[in-house]
Structure 1
Amino acid sequence: MDNQIYKVTLNMYDLSQGMAKQFSPMFLGKQIDAIWHTGIVVYGKEYFFGGGICAQAPKTTIYGYPIEERELGETEIPQSTFEEFLRSISSNYTMEKYDLFKNNCNNFTNECAQFLVGKGIPENITGLPQEFLNTQLGQMLKPVIEQITNKQASDQTEHFNYLNNQELQALQNFQNINPQIINQQQPQPQLNVPLTQTVKAAQQPQQQPQQIDTNVIPIEDSESYFCLIESSPQCIIDFYTEWCGPCKTIKPLFHKLSLENPHINFYSVNIEKVREIADSLQVTSIPTFITYQNGQQKDRWTGGQHHMLTNNIQKLQ
């Protein structure tokens, strides 16, 4: 009998990449923090609804890196029992039965959470569609959205043909919940480019990246991170990703402050490139900032609030 305890975590992604939080008050008349996509992480895998029930290594899906990882609890249910449960509900979670308001990725993770830990995911996530519909804009768009989501499967397949190659490849690489293929390695397509085309591309002038005035130093490995922390009297680290909306919004201020405060060392960590640092420091939301003084952590906060960054920099004066 399997008496092992398994931690259950909810990975939370913002499909709007920060735009919902920024523009929802203007267009909806109320604050919506994110357009949530969620996945359940348990048994070393992330389970989610994406054109069917899928499973991949955590944080490796096409949705990028989660902006928050929320612990839901623990379960004693074995993986085999859980995946048998998934097979029993798989007919409810197909591309044909997807519904933006009633049967989406968050409905799936909510059902999984109830099975695993006896309670659902946060109501602000499952209630987001209704929250949107309750706005004036939501009422105006409801008939249009329902018309789109009620299309036949053949129409949906036709629409998917307009996805770019990367999205198509990502969809093809999804691992459906099936004991025969769940751990199967997906073959990679061979791309054959004529030599003349390669030479022609190489002859094109390379566009130079825009130069930014900054004293921010990127950290690219965990060993460097801890050495720099120990050797810096005062420093601040920005944990970010390239696709994160709030990260992009606060980036210019972070660079500006690095020039205005030469006595403070400014560092940045792209957590998609150096995940071991984020994992060791339990960075579960982005952007996250940490300040250190003489090797000791002083302040830590998340979010792209300009005043928080400015105030905590002033504390290092």
Structure 2
Amino acid sequence: MSTPVQLYVYDLSNGLARQMSMQLTGRQIDGIWHTSVVVFGKEIFYGQGINITPPGKSHLGQPFRIVEMGETAIDEDTFEQYLSEMGQQFTADKASEALPLCTDITFNMSQSRSQYHLLDFNCNTFSNECIGFLTGGNIPDYIKSLPADFLSTPFGAALRPSIDAMFRGGAHSGLPTPPPEAVRAAAQVSPNPALATGLLESIAARASSSGYAESYIPTPAPTSPPTPVAADVKDCTDLTYFQSLLRDNRAVIAFFTSKTCGPCRVVEPVFQDLAKQKAKRNGGVVFAKVDLAVGAGAAVASRYGVRATPTFFFFLDGRKASTHELRGANAPELRTQVDLLLYEAFPPHPHRSISLPATDSIALKPILFTQIPNLDTLLSKLNEFIDAVSPWTGVLTQAQIKQALSKTVIPFLKASSTPPPPQPPTAPFDYWPALVLGLVSNLTVGDLFPLADIWRIALLNPKFSEWSAVKKGPQNPMNVLLSKALGSKDVPRNYLLTVLRMLSNAFSNTNLARECTTSMRNDLTAILVSSLLHENATVRTAAASLAFNVAAHFQKRRLERIESHGNIDPEEEDLDWELEIISALLEAIGRENASEDTVHRLTASLALLLRFSPFTRDLTPLMEVLRSRSVLTGKLQKGNTGGVTKVEIRKLITEVAEKLCP
């Protein structure tokens, strides 16, 4: 799963560089750029060491510009390890300095290998390293080239010794300040040495500080600085990034503009409004703004033959058709072209236009098994099984396991289930896996049903289910208990039934439900398919409940995808799995003769899977072979065994048969 990466850009001069750079340096410099990297919900930057803070909460306030840098496939743990290693290079001059006020974490190593320098080794050096690690790209050239541009001016060359002195030893005793001789050198090349020196000191203070450094240069009067690009619009300042957007997205709408273009200012609000509406609703849709006067924007325009602004290009799968081009500030035509592009990129689902009131009225709340047995009796039965084992093997002894059950596990369950539910005690859940492994290693499958029932009850507790969601891998207790139900053909009915109910309760937590349908999918599918056809009616009902929870989970996920992105990407789902589940559901519906409620749950599961399936065309041949419509309408024959009589169930069956089955 990829994670978006952003570059926050700040102007350390608070707009002074843009106003006064021409008179101080003889060259227009729009800002003294400080950057930070935003990823995994954190803002990371280099000042007095590597600092991490919530986005936009550093001492510099809100960013001047946000630049989208693409996405990373690197996970958060790997990135944190990378930062820890980088801390040995990007560190404060003194590792013993106190933690900055604005940071949550600071990496400071005992030996400083490199010290912050405004021009040579700074926040932008660090940001470029991080962006390279995360995405393989680079920060925009107009940021990287700023020191060279500044030093090429007479004023910059005269102040270079001052800057070196400031960052050679000034950080030891407070804010870096230039020596007097540097000021005199600057005076020879600047018409306003006091202002120049004050500006430099202010920039240095804000750049090297990690806390709320207070500038003593007066804040300039507002001069209508460039506003940050809207969050839904990608600010493209170089060709590499623009081409990465074309490569990684299904549809791209590019707006070529310039600050001096009057029609651009007229049509830009329309473009931003479209981005807000369409980029949020359609996955793989990007609205990109290319300002010809910012960074390498002119190079992007030249690459695509743009000579006038405003110009809009419309890309599908990285290619631009000749008709996908609009020149001028024609707002109605812009809206039309965007809609046409998105219709071509994301044709509507064939079921979107079908009225399915019975299907759409199905409540997506999971079916949970909340009955609490006598917990003391449950413990007594489990202790009886434990005492009967000889010899006992494993890390935990029989006495240790029995004590843990009686002193911690059962009290936790009692506290969680007492009405009205109080705040349950905090339990050290991390030792529970060892407890389960010890019991599973020594007890027979037939004696494990009390343990599975303990887990079923515990999963109703939000804290416990959230903890269980992060316990991944084969040693996850749910995996262990599930695998025992798949270990042989003659699994005792009571154990199979309890495991099915335990798995149903796992869907009380969204994160745990996601784990069940991803990392545990194969085993979950195996027990579900076999149990739907079990000879025992109670087992079949529990399996139908689990099937419904699985289908409801996918329906909620698909509805969220449609709401936020406009459609569902088939590559995000598994056709083979859906074929297997739908086959099992149809066979189970045809065979079920004991319970109308079971037929209801099975039909509801089928309806939810078919409603917005991205594989409608692929499923049609299978459903024709399985005679899906005949299977369902057969349940409407009241005179037959297994015929359904309840009105609401009959409505659902009729709707699914007539509108969703071929």
Contact 1:93 1:108 in 2 (8 A): yes
Q: Partner residue of 1:180?
A: none
Please name the residue that 1:24 is paired with: 21
The 1:103–1:78 alpha-carbon spacing in structure 2 relative to 1, beyond 3 Å, is same
Distance 2:34 2:170 in 1: 23
Aligned position for 1:84: 81
Q: Find the counterpart in structure 2 of residue 132 from structure 1.
A: 150
The amino acid across from 1:249 in the alignment is T
Taking the aligned partners of 1:38 and 1:299, their CA distance within structure 2 comes to 24
Q: Separation in 2 of the partners of 1:172 and 1:127?
A: 27
Give 1:21 shift.
1.2
In structure 2, relative to structure 1, the CA distance for the partners of 1:61 and 1:147 (3 Å cut) is same
Instruction: Give the match's secondary structure for 1:70.
Output: strand
Letter in 2 for 1:106: N
1:53 matches 2:50: yes
User: Which residue of 139, 148, 155 corresponds with 2:166?
Assistant: 148
Which structure has greater strand proportion?
Answer: 1
- Contact 1:290/1:299 (<8 A) preserved: no
Q: Residue 49 of structure 1: SS of its match in structure 2?
A: strand
Normalising by structure 1, we get a TM-score of 0.52
- 1:128 deviation in Å? 1.1
By how many angstroms is 1:172 displaced? 5.8
Partner secondary structure for residue 37 of structure 1: strand
1:203-244 Cα distance to aligned partner (Å, 9 max, x none)? xxxxxxxxxxxxxxxxxxxxxxxxxxxxxxxxxxxxxxxx99
Compare relative contact order (CA 8 Å, sep 6+) and give the higher one, 1 or 2. Answer: 1
Q: Distance in 1 between matches of 2:7 and 2:272?
A: 26
Alpha carbons of structure 1 residues 143 and 69: separation in structure 2 relative to 1, 3 Å: same
Residue 291 of structure 1: how far off its partner (Å):
7.0
Residue among 222, 246, 250 paired with 1:248: 222
Partner of 1:33: 30
- Amino acid corresponding to residue 92 of structure 2 in structure 1: M
Runs of 4+ in 1 over 6 A off after TM superposition: 289-292, 298-301
- Encode CA deviations 1:93-124: one digit per residue, 9 max, x unaligned: 12211111111111000000010111210122
**2:128 alignment partner in structure 1:** 110
Aligned to 1:95: 92
Please tell me whether the aligned partners of residues 290 and 298 of structure 1 are also in contact (alpha carbons under 8 angstroms): no
Q: Which amino acid aligns with 1:10?
A: L
**Residue 122 (str. 1) matches residue 115 (str. 2):** no
Distance 2:122 2:41 in 1: 23
Deviation at 1:143, TM superposition (A): 1.0
SS of the residue aligned with 1:71? strand
Asked whether the 8 Å contact 2:71–2:135 carries over to 1, the reply is yes
| Partner of residue 12, structure 1 | 9
Q: Aligned in 2, Cα 1:55/1:290: closer, same or farther, shift over 3 Å?
A: farther
Conserved? CA contact 1:29–1:135, under 8 Å: yes
SS in 1 for 2:66: strand
**Distance of aligned partners of 1:297 and 1:51 in 2 relative to their CA distance in 1, 3 Å threshold:** same
Mapped partners of 1:172, 1:141: distance in 2: 26
Secondary structure, aligned partner of 1:26: helix
2: CA distance, partners of 1:124 / 1:98: 20
CA 1:71–1:150 in 2, change beyond 3 Å: closer, same or farther?
Answer: same
Amino acid at match of 1:48: F
Q: C-alpha displacement at 1:155, in angstroms?
A: 2.8
**Aligned residues of 1:290 and 1:297 also touching (Cα < 8 A):** no
Q: How many residues align?
A: 200
CA separation of 1:299 and 1:85: change in aligned 2, threshold 3 A? closer
Q: Is this contact kept in 1: 2:233–2:272, CA < 8 A?
A: no
Task: Give the 3 Å change call, closer, same or farther, for CA 120–22 of structure 1 in structure 2.
Answer: same
Q: Deviations over 1:123-159 (max 9, x none)?
A: 2212211211110001111111111111165334798
Contact 1:291–1:298 (Cα < 8 Å) also in 2 = no
Paired residue type of 1:248: P
Structure 2, unmatched stretches of 5+, are 94-114, 178-201, 213-217, 236-263, 274-288, 292-662
TM-score normalised by length of structure 2 = 0.26
| Residue 560 (structure 2) aligns with | none
Q: Which has the larger radius of gyration?
A: 2
User: Of the candidates 35, 48, 61, which is equivalent to residue 64 of structure 1?
Assistant: 61
SS in 2 for 1:249: coil
Report if aligned partners of 1:47, 1:55 keep a CA contact under 8 Å in 2: yes
User: Which residue of structure 2 aligns with residue 265 of structure 1?
Assistant: none
Question: Would the aligned equivalents of 2:9 and 2:36 in 1 still touch at CA under 8 Å?
Answer: yes
C-alpha distance in structure 1 between counterparts of 2:224 and 2:171, whole Å: 42
